Amino acid sequence: MSSTSSDAPEELRPPITETTFVATASGEDDPPAPIKGVRRLLGWIIPANFAIFVIWGAVPGILLPHQIELLYPDPKQKVATFAIIATVGALCALVAQPIAGQISDRTRSKYGRRAPWILVGAIAGGLALTGLAFANSFVGILIAWCLVQVGYNIAQGPLSAVLPDRVPVSRRGTFAALSGIGLMAGALGGQVVGSLLFNSMVAGYIFFAVFALIVLALFVVFNPDHPSTNFAREPFRFSDFISTFWVNPIRHPDFFWAFTGRLLLYTGYFGVTGYQLYILSDYLGVKEPNTVIPLLGIIGLVGTIVATIISGPLSDKVGRRKPFVFGSSVVMGVALALPWLWPNFTSWLIMTAIIGFGFGMFQAVDTALMSQVLPSAKNFAKDLGVVNIAATLPQTFAPGIAGAIVLAFGYAALFPIGIVLSILGAICVWFIKATK
């Protein structure tokens, strides 16, 4: 281990404990031995991620645009309104996750640093989702959606920190692959379930709220966190709070390149897929888009699962991450070219399968890569919150930017921009030195 070892012979070094690991380790280091419960975590991370991301797939992708469409039937007005609500809501997520991560890193309790906040986030998000179900005005929807974003990001940040906290480096590709299966199965499965509940929004919102709470509570019960009462208490400084949103790119260049690569690729992806409902109806001429979304979700899910199962364990076996990330971005760029050059529903079907494979490959390996460029175990959840800004920031600005592009140039302009961003994201990964 790089940060916790010294020049002394190994037999003379003091044992690495959970306390010294948190005080001195970085993302390149294994958790201290004995590492227990990893196999159980490998199983539970799938439903835990699924429970959160099924909401991100169903609500902003299906139910929320439909809810807005019912209030504003005019095509231009619905696009503009959705862009505003999605942008403001995701901005709340951008702020919430690293702050929640910093609070989690500093939590000292017999239940550990992560478990209490996973439960708090699940409860808060569920209450907000229930409120969204009954919102019937622009202001009501905006406030409720912002609270949903804050609540579930409070849970998501500490949940993502389980990887560097408790999983050895040699198994992170496998863990990230399973995490990616849960993530993408949730995101794509959410589209399927959301479309089935297209005309029953209240029931849909309440169902997702209850489902997430039950699954995340079970995750906490069956994967108890390490007590953190013996960890050194970090004094609160306002400068530390401000630095929540910042990791020095000069001191930590690998972190910067990994962050930037994810930011660009996610922006290209969500800039197009975030408007799927409207693209299907207004660009490809599908009369009832909600009826075909279950098929699209299943097709994308198959591609994602196949890519994830192959990519994560294979990256562990060959000891390389970057080639998989680069390959995924090329695959996604090719997929986005299809509906741009061939604008019909058939091309969208083919694109869905290919981009699902590419994004699954990316998600499986990029999570492991990210965990290895984290600067310090003291701040795993905070730094992962900053990392996840690279995922939430595109959801913050992509709807607004994409909406402006659509209003100015039409839906076709989204695709070449997505292709360029995907390729640029891959180029950034090659500058990372900490991993191959």
Q: Cβ-count burial of 292 within 10 angstroms (0-12 exposed, 13-18 middle, 19+ buried)?
A: middle
| pLDDT interval class at 208 (50, 70, 90) | very high
Per-residue model confidence (pLDDT) at position 2:
39
Q: Are 352 and 294 in contact (CB under 8 A)?
A: no
Is 306 a domain residue? yes
Compute the mean pLDDT over every residue in the chain, rounded to the nearest whole number.
Answer: 79
> Model pTM?
0.69
- How would you classify residue 319: left for phi > 0, otherwise alpha for psi between -120 and 50, otherwise beta? left
Is 1 a domain residue? no
Is 109 a domain residue? yes
Say which CATH number the domain at 46 has: 1.20.1250.20
Is 100 a domain residue? yes
Is 28 a domain residue? no
Q: Please report the sign of the dihedral spanned by the C-alpha atoms of residue 141, residue 142, residue 148, residue 151.
A: negative
Per-residue model confidence (pLDDT) at position 9:
41
Per-residue model confidence (pLDDT) at position 122:
96
Structural domain harbouring 202:
33-225+238-429
| pLDDT interval class at 335 (50, 70, 90) | very high
Is 6 a domain residue? no
Q: Taking residues 136-144, what's their average pLDDT?
A: 94
> Using one digit for the tens of pLDDT, what is the confidence trace for 212-266?
999 999 999 998 887 777 776 766 666 666 665 556 667 778 778 877 888 888 8
Statement: residue 102 has pLDDT above 70: yes
Q: Are 122 and 221 in contact (CB under 8 A)?
A: no
Total number of domains in the chain: 1
Is 24 a domain residue? no
Diameter over CA atoms, the chain: 73
Neighbours of 298 (CB within 10 A): 16
Is 151 a domain residue? yes
> Using one digit for the tens of pLDDT, what is the confidence trace for 16-39?
444 544 544 444 554 544 456 678
| Cβ partners under 8 Å of residue 305, min gap 6 | 181, 184, 185, 360
Q: Cβ-count burial of 364 within 10 angstroms (0-12 exposed, 13-18 middle, 19+ buried)?
A: buried
Helix ranges (H only) for 319-432 are 322-341, 345-371, 380-409, 414-429
Helix ranges (H only) for 342-379 are 345-371
Dist. CA 324–CA 360, nearest whole Å: 10
